[in-house]
Structure 1
Amino acid sequence: MIHIHFIVNPIAGHGNAPLTHEELQSYFIKGVHDLTIKVTEYKAHATALTKASIVEKADIIVACGGDGTINEVATCLIGTDIALGIVPMGSGNGLASNLKIPKNRRKALEIIRNRHAEHIDVGNINGRYFFSNTGVGFDASLIKNYESSEKRTLLGYISACAITFKNIKKNTPLSIGIDGEAPLLNPFIILISNSNEMGYKLSLTPKASLQDGLLDVLIVKKIGRLKMLWLGFLILIRKVHWLKESRSFQTKKISLKCEQSDFFDTQVDGEHNRIDDNHLTISLMEKSLRVLTAK
């Protein structure tokens, strides 16, 4: 018997199409697959439910939601033999898209039923794991504003972008040092990626790979508003390297230090995360998560 546990975020994707046991049963074989559905009720509940499923000897644990839900579930499975399944039900679905897991529910469930697994790299930022990307600067502020909005849609994302853009000059000046280099004053973006998508098919690091053993780093120095608009266009066409104020490189580890503050505002897999430390250490754990993917 193959024990498959589904951890479902009921409000992902506006909560319009809840996953039911009856629907799941039509894709799996009675007597072969034992199915369990667990529904989250609050933030971080997916972590608790996943830990319980591990104790209950689940063979596969499926995250049904967006990148935040996937992060909570996957974090518990690092270094184990339990496979992570994904049913993308969020708004951005960056990691699922990078793994070629379709948003079409039937096709996503077929991938879980087929049980083809691969191992992917995992990022670590001060002890917290990320699977897609993490960053400071504009994208962290953008996610903070997006989370405070009631619109978890592309329109809401664009609205949050406009608010972040408007408030840039109000932000406290920051000087950030990167691995001992001369500090950057108010860098626009410092993004560290494990995957090549951020959600909504957008990408700042289109050459990043989940299986190459390297993190892709994008640094954009302080830029004016016109350059910000130009950068927005370059993101849409995946040509960020055309911006002369940008720099990209690959590494296994990077450190950031902020002199003016005792904390960092970051985004981790598309969720705002305040880290109460003025020093960030970001590294990679190679092939440490087993994920079900299409062949």
Structure 2
Amino acid sequence: MIHIHFIVNPIAGSGDNKINIKFLQRYFSKDTYVLVVKHSVYKKHAVELTKESIKEKAHVIVACGGDGTINEVASCIIDTSILFGVIPLGSGNGLASNLKISKNIEQAISIIKKQDVKTIDVGSFNNNYFFSNSGIGFDAMVIKNYEESNNRKLLSYIKATLKSLKDIKYDNEYNITINEENLVLKPFMIFVSNSNVLGYKVSLTPKASLQDGLLDVLIVSKLNFFKVVLFCLLMLFKKHYLLKEVKSYQTKNLSIYQKESNHYDMQIDGEHRIVNHSKIEFSIKEKTLRIIS
């Protein structure tokens, strides 16, 4: 018997998903599968539920939600033999888009049943993990404003972006070390990615791969208001690299240090987080998550 545990974020996306035992039993035969469905009710609850499922000897653990839910579940099962599945229910669904996992629940279930497995890289910083992307600066501000809107739709992203355009500040100077190059700047954005999709089919790192053993990094130095607007427009057409303030890198390691403050406003897989360190060390953990896709 194959034991599959589904960790469901009930408020992901539109918040009206239909994933429960009765629904899943239409697709998984009782003769072959043992199904368990768990619903998260608060932030980081999916971590606790996943650890329970590991103790309960689940063979497959499926994250049903957006990139934040994926992060909480997958962070617990890297470097294990457990297979990781995804049913994308979020608003952006960056990792699922990279893997071409459909937002159609029935199609996503069929992928899980086929169990075609690939082993992917995982991004890491200061003993935390990310699977799609992470960032400091403008994108973190957008996510923070988006979460405060309590509305998980594309229009909310647009409103959050416009608010962030008005509120952007260049207060802290960062020392960045990447590929033996040392940079000192007050950045518009430092974006570190493991996948090639940010969400809503938007990409800042179109050449990124989940299996190349490298992080794709975009460093954007200070922009005036006109160039911020231009950057946002160019980003929609994947032409943001045309600005001279935009530099792209591929690397295995990246360090960021600031002496003015001991915390960072970051976005990690599309969720806002405050990281209380003066220095952040990014690295790549190669081929450490077995994902069904």
Scaled by the length of structure 1, the TM-score of the pair is 0.96
Q: After superposition, where does 1:20-39 map in structure 2 within 5 Å?
A: 20-39=20-39
Partner of 1:177: 175
CA contact (8 A) 2:172 2:260 kept: yes
The separation in 1 between residues aligned to 2:113 and 2:54, in whole angstroms, is 19
- Deviations along 1:48-104, one digit per CA (max 9) or x if unpaired, are 000000010100000000100010000001000001100000111111111110001
- Deviations along 1:12-65, one digit per CA (max 9) or x if unpaired, are 122112312121111112210111111111111100000000010100000000
Partner of 2:61: 61
Partner of 1:136: 136
Partner of 2:264: 264
Shift of 1:172: 5.8
The separation in 1 between residues aligned to 2:88 and 2:124, in whole angstroms, is 23
The separation in 2 between residues aligned to 1:264 and 1:39, in whole angstroms, is 30
Amino acid at match of 1:54: I
Q: After TM superposition, what 4+ stretches of structure 1 lie above 2 angstroms from structure 2?
A: none
CA contact (8 A) 1:10 1:18 kept: no
SS in 2 for 1:91: coil
Shift of 1:122: 0.3
- Deviations along 1:148-190, one digit per CA (max 9) or x if unpaired, are 112111100111111111111xx36110111172410x21111
Amino acid at match of 2:285: M
The separation in 2 between residues aligned to 1:279 and 1:194, in whole angstroms, is 20
Partner of 1:234: 234
Is residue 2:19 matched to residue 1:19? yes
CA contact (8 A) 2:170 2:188 kept: no
Partner of 2:200: 200
- Deviations along 1:236-280, one digit per CA (max 9) or x if unpaired, are 111221111110010000000112111111111011111111101
The separation in 2 between residues aligned to 1:271 and 1:13, in whole angstroms, is 13
CA contact (8 A) 1:66 1:93 kept: yes
Amino acid at match of 1:34: V
Q: After superposition, where does 1:264-283 map in structure 2 within 5 Å?
A: 264-283=264-283
Scaled by the length of structure 2, the TM-score of the pair is 0.97
SS in 1 for 2:248: strand
How many residues end up aligned between the 2 structures? 290
The separation in 1 between residues aligned to 2:252 and 2:175, in whole angstroms, is 18
- Deviations along 1:123-144, one digit per CA (max 9) or x if unpaired, are 1111110001111110111111
Unaligned residue ranges in structure 2 (runs of 5+):
none
Unaligned residue ranges in structure 1 (runs of 5+):
none
Amino acid at match of 1:28: F
Partner of 1:189: 189
The separation in 1 between residues aligned to 2:36 and 2:200, in whole angstroms, is 30
